[in-house]
């Protein structure tokens, strides 16, 4: 009978060779690679699904946001529901006009156009964004009030020509800026603005502007009102002619009070001497040439001009020190004075020539009075237009701008 092999003997008989181990290793690697490939495919599928989901969500979010901007109420002014598209149109227009008007002085207020407006303080806890929002809402209130009043009064205006000029102006501006018309609209009127979807807002603004001009004509003052306004404020409308010469001190930045006092005493002596010479009959311009610095002497020597003479000057256009003296009642031709200017470390020799009213300024007075009346009328209209911050973005409405000292008491 044949002898059976025990398990131990079978193991001994099947001992792996070097080749067997190599083949087994390949087999195990293949199994490992198959598992990794399956895992990679599974992850790839999951990632693709997730990526597609992100795209779908992003698209959906963009669609929802666009719908909100174009169709949902962003703010309510009076009985008017404004979308964010319309609000952005007014906001961008207001900001652009303001910055273009005051561009030269904005840096003095610490304003930086390259930074977000809501990160720059304007005053009393308000940011520049808050201030611009407040200005925008006031402009909207006035425009809505005027267009509503225009409709009630039967006022009509054909905006065709004005709107055509507006569109052509945009095209020229875009060309000058080197951008497309589409991009120009977005930059200047809001991220979702197009020529088509802001057309209604532009035309409404044109109607409001035309109605404003119509109100100016309707509220033009009478000749009697113009005369009464002039007589009540002659200093604001009269003009004066006068001659003047300025003596200035050449002081170091770190000059002491003693140095300044000594320099001012010297200037007064010179000014008094010039005034006395003029009173004795010496020509004013000759005295200017005599006292002028070498750098400035040529201006007074120019035979074509009377450099020392100022003509047709309003009170508001003259330095305060000289204006008060020149516009004093009873001033007569030939009056002379010496005026000290402590702030500028200077002395002025001033000679009064004449004060008068230019009849051409009747129109200026008329325009001022009409403008005041129209402003009061529009303010009375817009006061009834309550503002509802539907989206809660107008933070200025919740800011307490009362004097901090009041709350401390």
Encode pLDDT of 178-221 as tens digits.
999 999 999 999 999 999 999 999 999 999 999 999 999 999 99
Which range among 89-98, 101-110, 309-318 shows the weakest confidence by mean pLDDT? 101-110
Pairing status of strand 309-313 against strand 80-83: unpaired
Q: What percent of the chain is predicted at pLDDT more than 90?
A: 73
Contact, 142 vs 90, CB < 8 A? Answer: no
Distance CA 45, CA 51 (A): 10
Q: At 252, is the pLDDT very low, low, confident or very high (cuts 50, 70, 90)?
A: confident
Element holding 344 (H helix, E strand): none
368-384 average pLDDT score:
96
pLDDT of residue 9: 47
Mean pLDDT computed over 363-370: 95
pLDDT score, position 156: 96
- Residue 54 pLDDT: 42
Q: How confident is the model at residue 36 (pLDDT cuts 50, 70, 90)?
A: low
Confidence (pLDDT) at 325: 97
Pair 120, 127: CB distance under 8 Å: yes
What per-residue confidence (pLDDT) applies to 6? 47
pLDDT at 303: 80
Q: What is the per-residue pLDDT for 17?
A: 60
* Strand pairing report for 346-356 and 73-77: unpaired
* Tokens coding 328: 């004093």
- The answer to whether 277 and 287 have CB atoms below 8 angstroms apart is yes
pTM: 0.72
Does 52 have pLDDT greater than 50? no
Beta strands in 36-145 (DSSP E): 73-77, 80-83, 121-123, 126-127
Asked if pLDDT for residue 236 goes beyond 90, the answer is yes
**Mean of pLDDT values over 323-339:** 97
In this structure, the dihedral spanned by the alpha carbons of residues 343, 345, 349 and 350, taken in order and rounded to 10 degrees, is -20
pLDDT tier, 65 (very low <50, low <70, confident <90, very high otherwise): low
pLDDT at 39 (0 to 100): 57
pLDDT(80) > 60 = yes
């Amino acid at each position: 009978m044949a002898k059976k092999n025990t398990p131990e003997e079978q193991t001994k008989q099947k001992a792996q060779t070097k080749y067997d181990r190599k083949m087994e290793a390949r087999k195990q690697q293949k199994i490992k690679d198959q598992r990794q490939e399956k895992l990679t495919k599974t992850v790839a599928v999951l990632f693709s699904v997730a990526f597609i989901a992100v795209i779908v969500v992003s698209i959906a979010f963009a669609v929802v946001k666009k719908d909100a901007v174009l169709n949902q109420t962003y703010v309510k002014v009076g009985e008017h529901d404004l979308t964010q598209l319309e609000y952005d149109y007014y906001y961008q227009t207001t900001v652009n006009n303001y910055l273009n008007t005051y561009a030269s002085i904005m840096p003095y207020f610490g304003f930086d156009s390259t930074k977000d407006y809501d990160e720059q303080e304007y005053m009393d806890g308000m940011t520049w964004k808050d201030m611009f929002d407040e200005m925008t809402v006031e402009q909207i209130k006035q425009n809505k009030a005027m267009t509503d009043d225009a409709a009630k009064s039967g006022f009509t205006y054909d905006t065709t020509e004005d709107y055509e000029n507006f569109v052509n102006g945009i095209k020229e501006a875009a060309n000058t800026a080197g951008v497309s018309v589409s991009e120009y609209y977005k930059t200047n009127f809001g991220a979702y603005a197009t020529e088509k979807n802001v057309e209604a807002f532009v035309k409404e603004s044109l109607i409001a502007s035309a109605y404003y001009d119509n109100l100016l004509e309707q509220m033009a003052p009478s000749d009697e009102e113009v005369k009464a306004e002039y007589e009540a404020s002659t200093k604001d409308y009269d003009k004066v002619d006068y001659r003047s010469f300025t003596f200035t001190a050449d002081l170091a930045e770190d000059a002491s009070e003693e140095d300044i006092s000594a320099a001012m005493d010297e200037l007064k002596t010179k000014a008094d001497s010039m005034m006395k010479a003029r009173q004795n009959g010496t020509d004013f311009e000759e005295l200017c040439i005599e006292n002028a610095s070498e750098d400035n002497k040529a201006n007074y020597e120019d035979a074509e001009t009377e450099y020392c003479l100022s003509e047709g000057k309003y009170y508001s256009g003259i330095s305060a020190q000289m204006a008060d003296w020149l516009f004093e009642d009873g001033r007569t031709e030939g009056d002379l004075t010496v005026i000290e200017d402590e702030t500028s470390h200077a002395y002025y020799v001033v000679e009064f020539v004449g004060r008068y009213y230019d009849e051409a300024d009747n129109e200026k007075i008329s325009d001022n009075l009409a403008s005041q009346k129209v402003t009061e009328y529009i303010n009375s209209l817009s006061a009834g237009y309550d503002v509802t911050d539907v989206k809660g973005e107008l933070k200025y409405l919740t800011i307490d701008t009362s004097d901090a000292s009041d709350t401390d008491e």
